[in-house]
């Protein structure tokens, strides 16, 4: 996925104004698709984790947290994903030990460490494959808020509070996948990933009057960062969030290299990163999501071996955890 334009996250300017007619047409076509598709209704509850915008917001960590919480409740979740960035169309049961990111995409490999993952571009076929296996009690749908093919029991929209909704315009004039007024009708709860601006939260409460959960990403095993010289690289939705986290935990970040979300690393990238680390006498560090894509050649394998990762988990504030439990209890009632 190419990096989104920086002006998406600034005040609306000339480019946004010029593209607004295209955005209006794009939004109208996408909205019409929602109303003209008869969704498949699974025999299992379907919990969807999505977002309002293109690019990353924290969906994957929230999905992993949700799977963990469901398992703690005695449920048997299966995560349904489309495998963005991979070549497989599915249905395909993801094997984290054997599958490559080039086939499945990076996020399914990470999620498969938490719960069984079924990859399927066709969400109805994916739900039917999960039902056919017979051991799941709930489907957790990773992304797909705007996909009408599968009816949802409970839907979350995760918002990166550092970028919010950008300029509030629809693709290609801005980052919104659909007009917010349309998307607001699709969600049952918002998840604010990070410290939220009160004015923005008030605006969202007016535009999308649903319960709000407050979350943050907590890195694990950060002691090694204190005083460490690092060359940091990341191909995620918001690389700056990762770089800022390293600095916040005491690392001296001597060089940062942002890549597009889900970027496929090349041998040239490996050569450049290894050379930078040698030049700066620094440790290479990246995200878990990026690390699973470092395969396919000896140079990428060397980069993987030389790079440390910073695992993160999403956490909820106590009041939000209580709200989540109530939402899950309602969604999981026998139907």
- pTM value is 0.89
- Identify the pLDDT of residue 14: 85
Task: Answer yes or no: is pLDDT of 20 > 60.
Answer: yes
Lowest mean pLDDT among 11-20, 157-166, 264-273, 291-300: 11-20
- Identify the pLDDT of residue 334: 73
Note whether 205 and 192 are within 8 A (CB): no
Of 316, 312, 319, 321, nearest in space to 286 by CA: 312
Contacts 24+ apart (CB under 8 A), 247-252: 249/219, 249/222, 249/225, 250/225, 250/226, 251/225, 251/226, 251/227, 251/285, 252/227, 252/228
Note whether 56 and 155 are within 8 A (CB): no
- Identify the pLDDT of residue 335: 60
Of residues 27 and 216, more confidence is placed in: 216
Length of the chain: 335
pLDDT single digits (tens) 87-103: 999 899 999 889 988 89
Average pLDDT over residues 156-164: 94
Name the pLDDT band for 280 (thresholds 50, 70, 90): very high
What six digits make up the tokens of 167? 């300029």
pLDDT single digits (tens) 204-234: 999 999 999 999 999 988 999 999 999 999 9
Identify the bridge partners of residue 259 per DSSP, sorted by sequence position: none
- Identify the pLDDT of residue 1: 52
**Mean pLDDT rounded to a whole number for the chain:** 92
Name the pLDDT band for 2 (thresholds 50, 70, 90): low
Task: Answer yes or no: is pLDDT of 262 > 90.
Answer: no
Return d(Cα 159, Cα 161) in angstroms, integer: 6
Exposed/middle/buried for residue 249 (C-beta within 10 Å: 0-12, 13-18, 19+): middle
- Identify the pLDDT of residue 137: 97
Q: Which helix (H) or strand (E) holds 145?
A: none
- Identify the pLDDT of residue 257: 95
Average pLDDT over residues 170-177: 92
Task: Answer yes or no: is pLDDT of 31 > 90.
Answer: no
Domains and CATH numbers, the chain: 35-217+314-331 (3.40.50.300), 221-310 (3.40.50)
Residues 6+ apart with CB under 8 A from 5: 15
Return d(Cα 173, Cα 143) in angstroms, integer: 22
């Amino acid at each position: 996925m190419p990096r989104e334009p920086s002006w998406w996250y600034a005040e609306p300017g000339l480019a946004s104004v010029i593209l607004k007619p295209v955005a209006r047409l794009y939004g109208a076509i996408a909205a019409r698709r929602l109303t003209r598709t008869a969704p498949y209704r699974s025999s299992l509850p379907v919990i969807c984790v999505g977002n309002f915008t293109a690019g990353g917001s924290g969906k994957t960590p929230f999905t992993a947290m949700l799977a963990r919480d469901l398992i703690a409740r005695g449920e048997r979740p299966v995560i349904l994903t489309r495998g963005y960035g991979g070549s497989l169309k599915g249905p395909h049961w993801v094997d984290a030990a054997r599958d490559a990111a080039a086939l499945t995409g990076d996020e399914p490999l990470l999620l498969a460490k938490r719960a069984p993952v079924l990859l399927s571009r066709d969400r109805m076929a994916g739900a039917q494959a999960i039902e056919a296996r017979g051991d799941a009690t709930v489907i957790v749908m990773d992304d797909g808020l705007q996909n009408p093919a599968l009816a949802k029991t409970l839907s979350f929209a995760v918002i990166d509070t550092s970028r919010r909704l950008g300029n509030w315009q629809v693709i290609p004039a801005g980052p919104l996948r659909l007009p917010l007024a349309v998307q607001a009708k699709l969600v049952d709860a918002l998840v604010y990933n990070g410290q939220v601006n009160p004015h923005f939260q008030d605006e969202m409460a007016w535009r999308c009057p649903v319960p709000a959960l407050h979350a943050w990403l907590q890195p694990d095993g950060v002691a090694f960062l204190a005083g460490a010289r690092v060359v940091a690289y990341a191909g995620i939705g918001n690389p700056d969030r990762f770089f800022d986290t390293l600095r916040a935990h005491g690392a001296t970040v001597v060089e940062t290299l942002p890549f597009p979300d889900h970027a496929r690393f090349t041998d040239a990238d490996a050569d450049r990163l290894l050379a930078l680390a040698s030049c700066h006498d620094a440790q290479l560090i990246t995200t878990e999501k990026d690390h699973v894509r470092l395969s396919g050649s000896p140079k990428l394998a060397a980069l993987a071996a030389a790079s440390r990762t910073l695992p993160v988990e999403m956490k909820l504030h106590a009041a939000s955890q209580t709200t989540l439990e109530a939402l899950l209890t309602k969604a999981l009632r026998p139907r």
